[in-house]
Amino acid sequence: MYDLIIVGAGPAGLTAGIYAGRYLLKTLIIGKMPGGMISEANKVCNFPSYENISGFELATKMVEQVQKLGVKIEYKCVEEIKKDGLFNVKAGNQIYKAKKIILATGTEKKSLGISGEKKFLGKGVSYCATCDASFYKDKTVTVVGGSDAALTAALLLAEYAKKVYILYRKEKFFRGDPSWIKKVEENKKIEVLFNSELNEICGDQSVENIILNNNSELAVEGVFIEIGSVPDDILQKQLKLKMEKEYVVVDKDQRTNVKGIFAAGDMTNNPLKQVVTACGEGAIAANSVYNEIQKSADTIQTECDKN
């Protein structure tokens, strides 16, 4: 039995855990992996106090801080959440009970859905440059996308590969941070192909070449897909949370439309999807949970005093 269960072990969930731990709430964090997607980031350069830190290192520091506060973390997949006065959270073969829930499940990377993408997954197709860049030393690769994730993936790959193409379907970079765009433009190993889309990934046992939307071919040995991400909405649908497109609608206190359930991080409808904003939302959510639990305790005490 917990005061609070946090679903998700990324920056939002871990920060919520830090605040909950300091509020002395009995708290459990359940997540698929420590740090969530940020652990795959090669470099984080806009988190206060760190000019440059790897996503894995930043996530590790957050996990360590959570654990020092006595908050338990279990790495499992939450399959179901039901409410019968308390919340029953099913993960693996266990049921955990909690008074309040913070959802911080983040997002999952989008796939292109093109021919060859599934066939060559792990054989030249990757969604994580941080994980796989070192396998492409002196090879030619391509990155699909134009966001910060795509730009930083290209820069990392350029440290290993002899040539890196960026395929972007628009005529210029719209979403990227200007500092990353400048670094890409200055890197002689990187060539940007605007107005280009990937239609097919080809090869025999592994990736050998790709076909673009203009039917031209490029000889590459690796394809890194960075076209954005969307929330996994399984729990949101179970709980009948109010949604704005794919994202959970929250108020200024991170409350959802379901009493006792809060949401934080990239899964919410707040516009800026960054580590620092995810942490802020996690802190607000934990504070809101604490205030609700305290208010409930005060109400019970008042009723007892009356009797």
The pLDDT, as a whole number, for residue 296 is: 83
**pLDDT, tens digit, for every residue of 238-276?**
999 999 999 999 999 999 999 999 999 999 999 999 999
Give the pLDDT score at 142. 98
Helix (H) or strand (E) holding 198: strand 198-203
- All domains of the chain, ordered by start, with CATH? 2-107+231-306 (3.50.50.60), 125-225 (3.50.50.60)
pTM for this predicted structure = 0.86
At residue 80, the pLDDT reads: 96
The angle that helices 275-306 and 11-22 make with each other, rounded to 10 degrees, is 40
Q: Give the separation between CA 60 and CA 235, rounded to whole angstroms.
A: 26
Per-residue pLDDT of the chain (307 residues; tens, 9 = 90+): 999 999 999 999 999 999 999 999 999 999 999 999 898 888 888 899 998 899 999 999 999 999 999 999 999 999 999 998 899 999 989 999 999 999 999 999 999 999 999 999 999 999 999 889 999 999 999 999 999 999 999 999 999 999 999 999 999 998 889 999 999 999 999 999 999 999 999 999 999 999 999 999 999 999 999 998 999 889 999 999 999 999 999 999 999 999 999 999 999 999 999 999 999 999 999 999 999 999 987 665 555 556 5
Of 293, 281, 275, the C-alpha closest to 255 is 281
pLDDT of residue 130: 87
Asked whether the beta carbons of 204 and 179 are under 8 A apart, the reply is no
Q: Are strands 140-144 and 78-84 parallel, antiparallel or unpaired?
A: unpaired
Distances 35 to 16, 82, 148, 245 between C-alpha atoms, Å:
13, 26, 19, 25
- Looking at residue 22, its pLDDT comes to 98
